[in-house]
Amino acid sequence: MKELEAKISQAGSLEELEKVRIELFGKRGVLALEFAKLKDIPNSEKKSFAEGLNRKKGELQRLYEKALARLKEKRIEDILKSEILDVSLYGNLDRKGALHPVMETMDRIIEYFIAMNFSVEDGPKIEDDFHNFEALNLPKNHPARDMQDTFFCRDGKLLRTHTSPVQIRTMLEQKPPIRIIAPGAVFRKDYDLTHTPMFHQVEGLVVQDKGEVSFANLKYILSDFLQYMFGDVEVRFRPSFFPFTEPSAEVDISCIFCRGDGCRVCSHTGWLEVLGCGIVDPNVFKAVGYKDVSGYAFGLGVERFAMLLHRIPDLRMLFEGDLRLLEQFR
């Protein structure tokens, strides 16, 4: 008996304890054998023998329950120790996704301008006439409004046709000097090889109240930016027109496919048009209540950059979600 008590409290595992339990309490266990002795015991002693045995059985049972509880807890602790889950470990790398080529291109553009000390601004995609047109020197009935085919909402609002309204919002909220870019989606009624109804632009705006901003400043930063994006290319500025800049220019790079010799992509001109820019028109400053300031602005289409950088022949492919295209950008 004493030996069995010791076995109960010394059991090192649930399995060991189970063996001891069967040895003690089982049908042919030690206790059963003791109780079997009852029948050979003289009647006068039966009662005290049975009482003593039951007391002993009770004690052993309590001892057993205690050991069981202790070993169950130990089992849980062991499991917790041996099955540590390191949530910081990498999972199945094969299924890792990737940035969409448009977003990857956008990030590269943003990185350049952040390094040049620009900050990033955001604006609503559902705009009103004032921010998208009026304040940008595009009064009602101005013929230049036809340059952009607009999606109008029922309540008179519209889907912004460019990121230029963020220029207006920023100037209305902040004081000069201003040095921002505004990346984001824009919308136009257009659908062909080089146009989709939704695409992305990055707008840039620099405004100074001290010292004049010149076209040379604009030319320098855009040339440097385009060489950062496309490598060793030639950059040329062509006179153009935007209602919100004067003078305005369109910027070309020498064709990255034929290096200027002329090919199908550059329509045999040797040049690829990549952005629009100019010196901010005084009427724009008037619309936001700015006085004695000067500034430059530029705007570019991110998909056009992505197409050129990755030689994607049809802009619409970027939005079809075809994995055969997307998997090439893992």
Residues that bind ligand PHE (CB under 6 A): 162, 164, 203, 242, 245, 276-278, 297-299
Task: Collect all residues with Cβ–Cβ distance below 8 Å to 208 and sequence separation of at least 6.
Answer: 176, 177, 293, 294, 295
Q: Is 21 or 200 the residue whose CB approaches ligand PHE more closely?
A: 200
Question: 262 burial class (0-12, 13-18, 19+ CB within 10 angstroms)?
Answer: middle
**Closest distance between ligand PHE and the C-beta of residue 299, in Å?**
3
Shortest CA distance to 196 belongs to which of 329, 307, 309? 307
- What does the CA dihedral 306, 310, 316, 319 come to, rounded to 10 degrees? -70
Q: Is 101 or 243 the residue whose CB approaches ligand PHE more closely?
A: 243
Q: Is 161 or 254 the residue whose CB approaches ligand PHE more closely?
A: 161
**Closest distance between ligand PHE and the C-beta of residue 278, in Å?**
5
**Closest distance between ligand PHE and the C-beta of residue 103, in Å?**
20
DSSP codes, 259-274: TTS--TTTTTSSEEEE
**Closest distance between ligand PHE and the C-beta of residue 234, in Å?**
21
One-letter amino acid identity for 171?
M
**Closest distance between ligand PHE and the C-beta of residue 212, in Å?**
18
Cβ atoms within 10 Å, residue 296: 22
Q: Is 277 or 306 the residue whose CB approaches ligand PHE more closely?
A: 277
Q: Using CB atoms, what's the residue nearest to ligand PHE?
A: 299
**Closest distance between ligand PHE and the C-beta of residue 300, in Å?**
8
Helix axes 215-230, 101-115, angle to 10 degrees: 130
Q: What Cα–Cα distance (Å) separates residue 194 from each residue in 99, 181, 305, 313, 316?
A: 22, 24, 12, 9, 7
Q: Is 121 or 203 the residue whose CB approaches ligand PHE more closely?
A: 203
Q: Is 67 or 170 the residue whose CB approaches ligand PHE more closely?
A: 170
